[in-house]
Amino acid sequence: MSNPAYPTVDATPAEVVEHLAKFCETREHHFWEDPVAITDPDVFAAQWIAGHSKITDAYLLAVVVRHKGRLATFDRSIPVRAVQGAGPEHIELLGVKA
């Protein structure tokens, strides 16, 4: 999120870490281990990962699906088809007005 190319956040790495640390201290935060492998065809449909910049997106979505959660993101181009069992119910788009 501290990448200058990131379109919706203007923060230094230290600021991002500070915000993350505060969030992790809340009762709503739960750490999920990430026992998925990008090479597992039962988890990933690699043909739907459109480029190097989407590998992490697909990986995070797979962790979310494994834990029956939701991925909170500003990114509207998460490769849902790249993760077996993923659907719109696994993504929470931030910055979208209802």
Q: Which of 2-11, 57-66, 88-97 has the lowest mean pLDDT?
A: 2-11
Which residues have C-beta within 8 Å of that of residue 34, sequence separation ≥ 6? 59, 63
91: pLDDT strictly greater than 70? yes
What pLDDT band is residue 82 in, cutting at 50, 70 and 90?
Answer: very high
Rounded-to-integer distance, Cα 52 and Cα 26, Å:
33
Is the model's pTM score more than 0.85? Answer: no
